[in-house]
Amino acid sequence: MADDGLLEAVRGLHLAHPELGPKPLLAKLRGQQPDLAVGNKDVREALAALKAEESKATEAAAAPAAAAAPPAAEEGGAPPDVAISLACFGCGRLPSEMGDGRKKHPVCPKCRELKIPTTYWCDVNCPGNPAAWQRHTPVHKAVRRGRKLKEDGGVMQQRDRETAEEAAREAEQTGRAFDELVAEGARYASKEAYRSAARALREAITLRPDRPDAYHNLGAALTNSGHYVEAAQRFLEAKDRWPVGSEGWARSTAWAFDMLTQEACAEVAKPEWWNDEGLKALSARVLRAAPNYGLANEVRAIVLSGRLSAWEVGPWEVGPRSAAELRKAAAHFDRAAALCPAPVLKADRAEAAAWCRARAM
């Protein structure tokens, strides 16, 4: 059994890097505390204890939805990490552990202001982990930066409204609780209320864990709120549930790739296809399935060029590129630019196309 000191140390690292396993966590722990005499087994035991705590919190949060779920949902079971953790982001303590009778921790005030999926805090200045707030604030900056880059005069918001209206009509026709929750998520997303959208979509997933659309929409809400690590996971889960080669599969795959190239996902475990040849083959299939989708063209262009930009090589081991591949990449960057309504992003993709043509020559 892990002692309390080790448990708290691992808790802080696990909250900051939930994607890492015992060995990477141990390396980080030793980097922070070189004199700490612990091994891989100790870290594994601490993680097991933390997961047991998280499971109890998730079960408590999901109990009302689980009671109302149909038998099919109970048999399939939603992923255990679909529900937002009710524990404090800093110290990891649950509300019941505070000893003051609270049923819920306060939410992050900045997340509430930005209408994005929130974190909970025993106190904004968490006494158990004072550095946690500094790890969390980059999310707020990423959201503001992303929204500025995507400014398009309301084009995408209008599309989101149309999507929400279509989802509402479908829910009205079927009367199914799942469809109503998906429609609710779309309605909140069209108002840029991503925290509420994520909540509705998590509930939808508990009802139908086999449906890819709720995972994809949740990934989109998390993307728009700067939660790239979880967004990548949700898009991959959607990808695995769509029929391979379908347009939905292509869109989820493209978004998963986009998230996995973000700096926040640098240490996230990558899928088996995350290599030069695997990405070339996968991006070609994605483009065939969704040739008029802007992100599908951008993914294909990035893979063929081997670069995210003129200055940044792709975050995988990139091999040499031929002039023909670079010319194809330029054509797909041009297509992505033509399909993009946001002026800043459109200019960025046009610049990438020009870079590819210059390199091809």
User: Which amino acid does the sequence have at 138?
Assistant: P
pLDDT for residue 159: 79
Instruction: Note the Cα 213 to chain centre separation in Å.
Output: 15
Examine residue 143 and state whether it is found in any structural domain, yes or no.
Answer: no
Examine residue 36 and state whether it is found in any structural domain, yes or no.
Answer: yes
Examine residue 335 and state whether it is found in any structural domain, yes or no.
Answer: no
User: Which amino acid does the sequence have at 39?
Assistant: G
Domain span at residue 23 reads: 1-62
Q: How many CB atoms lie within 10 A of CB 280?
A: 16
Examine residue 9 and state whether it is found in any structural domain, yes or no.
Answer: yes
If phi > 0 it is left, if psi is from -120 to 50 it is alpha, else beta; for residue 115 that is left
- CA dihedral (110, 115, 120, 125) in degrees, to 10, reads 0
pLDDT in tens, 265-275: 988 999 999 99
| Integer Cα distance of 205 and 202 in angstroms | 5
| Integer Cα distance of 228 and 234 in angstroms | 10
Tell me the sheet residues that pair with 107: 120
Tell me the sheet residues that pair with 88: 120
Examine residue 280 and state whether it is found in any structural domain, yes or no.
Answer: no
Examine residue 52 and state whether it is found in any structural domain, yes or no.
Answer: yes
Tell me the C-alpha to C-alpha distance, in Å, between residue 331 and each of 22, 255, 281, 298, 358.
44, 20, 18, 10, 13
Walking along the chain (361 residues) 10 residues at a time, the average pLDDT comes out as 62 59 65 64 70 52 38 39 67 86 85 75 84 80 69 67 88 92 93 90 94 95 89 96 96 96 89 96 97 96 89 87 96 94 85 93 89
pTM, two decimal places: 0.65
pLDDT in tens, 115-168: 676 678 888 788 888 888 887 877 777 777 766 666 656 666 677 788 889 989
- Tokens 């909540």 locate to 199
| Integer Cα distance of 10 and 29 in angstroms | 7
Examine residue 316 and state whether it is found in any structural domain, yes or no.
Answer: no
Q: How many domains does the chain have?
A: 1
Examine residue 337 and state whether it is found in any structural domain, yes or no.
Answer: no
- Tokens 């003051």 locate to 100
User: Are 261 and 314 spatial neighbours (Cβ–Cβ below 8 Å)?
Assistant: yes
Q: Which residues of 145-164 are buried (b: 16+ CB within 10 A; e: fewer)?
A: eeeeebebeeebeeebbebb
